[in-house]
Amino acid sequence: MNAVTGRPGRVGESARRIDGAPKTTGEYVYGGDLSAPWMLWGGTLRSPHAAARIRSIDTSEAVGAPGVHAVLTAADVPGRPTFGLEIADQPVLASDEVRYEGEAVALVAADRPERARAALRLIRVEYELLEPLVDMELALDPAARPLHAFGNVLRHVHIARGDLDAAAADVWVSGFYETGMQDQAPLGPEGGLAVPASDGGVDLYVATQWLHVDRQQIAPCLGLPEELVRVTLAGVGGAFGSREDVSVQIHACLLALRTGRPVKMSYGREESFHGHVHRHPSRTWIRYGATRDGKLVAADVRLLLDGGAYASSSPAVLANASTFAAGPYEVPNVRIEGTVVYTNNPPCGAMRGFGAPQVCFAYEAAMDELAEALRLSPLELRLRNVVGHGSALPTGQVLTGSAPVREVIERCRAIPLPPREPPLGRDPLDYPGGAGRANRGEHIRRGVGFAVGFKNVAYSEGFDDAAEATVILSDAPNGPIAAVRTAAVDYGQGLYTVLAQIVRTELGVEDVIVHPATTESGSAGSTSASRQTTMTGGAVLEACRAVRAELAARGGDLTGGPISCTREFHHRPTDQLDAEGQGDIHVSFAFTAQRAVVDVDTELGLVRVVQIAAAQDIGHTINPLGAEGQVEGGTAMGIGYALMEEIQVEAGLIRNPSFTDYLVPTALDVPPIVVDFVEEPEPGAPYGVKGIGELSTVVAAPAIVAALRHATGRTLTRLPVRPDDLLGLRPDSTAHPRAPVPDVPGQQPVPEYAGLELGQQELMKGHE
């Protein structure tokens, strides 16, 4: 796979990407680029229905089709029939029922990709259609058809602090906010290659986010011990959460083991939309109470997430969304009721921000309303209420780490506003609507909006997502070189470059090799939750220090052979939430503020984002250029979330599974982004770093919509904002009925209720 060498700079310098050169020439091998001699092509038959019983599957015609080597259905799964990140509730192949459009039903391996596709069309599945359950509130109805044996409530989180009913507020504001289903839309679709091994096992090369959790889901389904399933990372064409869950992994291995030949599976864009989880659509009812001088005294939040047909990481997403739902503010009296339900919609799970963006949209809108009610500037209201070091969150968790929130806000405010532009004579692309040239200076209103947001770093709720790394120092003709072995995934965010910078800094070497990530190394945990620079960075730092100590013990002499040290980095332990939603559940937090400036064509509802000013709390900067790139990219994704990106689902069916109709921002949609970093080291983290990747995606959309409200005076309660909304042509979602009562049926989280295995918890046990 892609071993990468380079001569990046040290910690604090804008090092060039260690894996950059082959990416510019096209030599870098991504999951979908893999091939092997004698390779077969795998294909997946997916359900065209959102809800149906499977009466029969007839594969006879496909089996006999030219070039076909295997056709598999559920009966051919040798091991556990289901998989899942947290709860193994999703069939490897559906046997009796399909619960969403796109659910895998059968597999084919053929000698050519077009023959695999042709064979899929020859499989006859007889379905008995069921009425799909597609509304998340209807799913709460005790009379609703249960989609799983244990009901439709996947998890409920109840957080209570202080006494909401006794809160003495002078002013109350309340609102109802909705967010749509966003897709990660990584540019590289899912892909991998499974190669059967002579020991009866299988070697899988795949683009993913966490090799070990993949293996831990693959092996039981194959009926193999984990040692016989070896996973190697292929080049990853972006992920953003979409590769947390398995896609081709189990299927490709099944086909490879059945045929005895290497099997490649690679999705196209349409299949990719059906083949991974999305960002949860949400509905949030929020009420803030404050004193006349602008101190928050109460927050009452009811939050509902649509988890879709299977659990994926929904329970963890809900925990995040719920614990962040009252905002990064000190509020003495809080009640938060969060629920995630099963529906027949596409499954939702991890996406950059992981529950934080949905609630940030709601709480920041409510804060702006409150500011208006109190006649305070939005920033002033926030400054009077933001948390800081020592503050307690609604979960009772006290911020013991760095929390320079005030400074983040002040620094964002200090970024100069973009210059006013003349109404006429601009570059045509500098008007709302851009290349369409529908605006040439008419009816433009400029708006400015702020949003503040926060998110946790690393895994929560008592989970010890440790990371292992090995650093090897050896002698070479031109001086010592160092190598890093890790199972951690760099899917583009720049981890390997950061690791090399750490090694160079700690060991003073020039050349650093980062070996391909495989399950031969111990688990590094997932590349998600903004955690890898802290976790794998921490492991590499500790390993470097151990190497240094050993070198010193050898008197600085490497002639006795290479020095290799392996270390495991653990973050501080956390708790579970108790029955009142109290507990020290998150490891640490990072904060950000963004200011958006927009131009709105108030007649056509067209928007031009003019500038984004971002100030972010990042602890310590390892690679300034890389860090900026994270903020810029995350902001672009937030622009999409605000203005155009939505998987449109009707009766459970995705109507726009293509880049023609699922629009992502182009180069003309992303304005200059001015980034300022606040560096206050995080205790316990290597160099004091914090995660960077997710925060900008959390706040960009709320900031942009605040600016749109400022420009248009409209309430804008739904993401993404459509031109119709800006013109008042679509009814506001505040017209929606009141919040469902917080006491939902089946409050017990499913894992306890159904006694299912907890995927990631299982993995953790290996670490104890």
Partner 1 sequence: MTEALRPKTLEEALALRAAHPEATVLAGGTDLMVGVNFGRAEPACLLDLSRLGELTAWARDDNCISVGAGVTFSRISAELDDLTALAEAASTVGSPQIRNRATLGGNIVTASPAGDGIAALAAYDASIVVARHARADRRIPWDEFFLGPKQTALADDELVVAAEWEPVDGPGTFAKVGPRSAMVIAVASICVQLDEQAHDVRIALGSVGPTVLRATRAEQLVTQLDWNDLDERALQEAGALAAADVQPIDDLRGTAAYRRRAVEVLVRRALAWTLAARGKVAA
Partner 2 sequence: MIVHLTVDGTTHIVDVDPLRSLATLLRDELGVIAVKNGCEQGECGSCTVWLDDELVCSCLVPAVQADGASVRTAASLANGGLDTVQEAFLDAGAVQCGYCIPGFVVTVADLLERDPHPSEHAVRDALSGNVCRCTGYRKIFAATRLAEARRP
Q: Which residue has the tokens 């598999």?
A: 72
Tell me the window of 115-123, 452-460, 507-515, 664-672 that interacts with partner 2 (CB under 8 A).
Answer: 664-672
Q: Which is nearer to partner 2, 148 or 276 (CB)?
A: 276
186: contact with partner 2 by CB under 8 A = yes
Closest approach, Cβ 437 to partner 1, in A, equals 5
Distance CA 558, CA 319 (A): 49
Amino acid at 115: R
The smaller minimum CB distance to partner 1, of residues 68 and 256, is found at 68
- Tell me which long-range contacts 569-572 makes (C-beta under 8 A, separation of at least 24): 569/466, 569/467, 569/468, 569/469, 569/534, 569/535, 569/536, 569/538, 569/539, 569/541, 569/542, 569/686, 570/464, 570/466, 571/458, 571/464, 571/465, 571/534, 571/535, 571/684, 572/684
68 binds, among partner 2, partner 1, none (CB under 5 to 8 A by kind): none
Is 435 or 476 the residue whose CB approaches partner 2 more closely?
435
Minimum CB separation of residue 664 from partner 2 in Å reads 6
**Residue 608 binding: pick among partner 1, partner 2, none (C-beta 5-8 Å cut-off by kind):** partner 1
For residue 3 the two structure tokens come to 């071993």
20 contact partners, CB below 8 Å, separation of at least 6: 6
Spatial separation of the C-alpha atoms in residues 78 and 136, rounded to whole Å: 35
Among the candidate windows 287-295, 436-444, 455-463, 620-628, which touches partner 2 by CB under 8 A?
Answer: 620-628
Which of the stretches 30-38, 357-365, 372-380, 729-737 binds partner 2 when contact is defined by CB under 8 A?
30-38
For strand 653-654 and strand 124-129, is the pairing parallel, antiparallel, or unpaired?
unpaired
Q: Which is nearer to partner 1, 439 or 521 (CB)?
A: 439
The angle at the Cα of 274, spanning 269 to 278, to the nearest 5 degrees, equals 100
* Other residues' Cβ atoms within 10 Å of the Cβ of residue 142: 11
Nearest to 109, CA basis, from 269, 275, 260: 260
Q: How many CB atoms lie within 10 A of CB 57?
A: 20
Smaller CB distance to partner 2: residue 460 or 697? 697
Q: State in angstroms the smallest separation of the CB of 435 from partner 2.
A: 7
Residue with Cβ nearer partner 1 (396 or 671): 671
Residues 623-642 that bind partner 2 (CB under 8 A): 625-626, 628-629, 632-637
Which H or E element spans position 369?
A: helix 356-374
Residue 603, binding choice from partner 2, partner 1, none, Cβ under 5 to 8 Å by partner class: partner 1
* Structure token digits, residue 363: 């709480």
Per CB under 8 A, which of residues 461..500 are in contact with partner 2? 491-494
31 three-state secondary structure: helix
Which residues make up the interface to partner 1 (CB under 8 A)? 117, 268, 270, 429, 433-438, 440, 442, 603-606, 608, 643-644, 648, 655-656, 658, 660-661, 663, 665-669, 722-724, 727, 729-730
Characterize 145-175 residue by residue with b for buried, 16 or more Cβ atoms within 10 angstroms of its Cβ, and e for exposed.
eebbebbbbbbbbbbbbbebeebebeeebbb
Q: Least Å distance between CB 657 and partner 1?
A: 10
Rounded Cα distance, 281 and 180, in Å: 5
Out of partner 1, partner 2, none, which partner does residue 14 contact, by CB within 5 to 8 A per kind?
partner 2
Residues 104-163 that bind partner 2 (CB under 8 A): 113-114
Q: Which residue, 439 or 630, is less far from partner 1 as judged by CB?
A: 439
Spatial distance between the Cα atoms of 239 and 526, rounded to a whole number of angstroms:
12
Is the Cβ of residue 290 or residue 692 nearer to partner 2 in the bound state? Answer: 692
Q: Which is nearer to partner 1, 7 or 655 (CB)?
A: 655
Residues with Cβ within 8 Å of 672's Cβ and at least 6 positions away in sequence, in order, are 418, 611, 612
Nearest of 429, 438, 492 to residue 637 by alpha carbon: 492
**37 near partner 2, rule: CB under 8 A:** no
Nearer to partner 2, 27 or 520 (CB): 27
Q: Kindly state the smallest distance separating residue 764's Cβ from partner 1, in Å.
A: 42
Task: Find the shortest distance in angstroms from Cβ 438 to partner 1.
Answer: 4
Select the binding partner of residue 604 from partner 2, partner 1, none (C-beta < 5 to 8 A, by kind).
partner 1
Binding site for partner 2 (CB under 8 A): 14, 16-17, 19-21, 23-30, 32-33, 35, 113-114, 185-189, 235-240, 268-270, 427-429, 435, 491-494, 625-626, 628-629, 632-637, 658-660, 664, 666-668, 670, 672-673
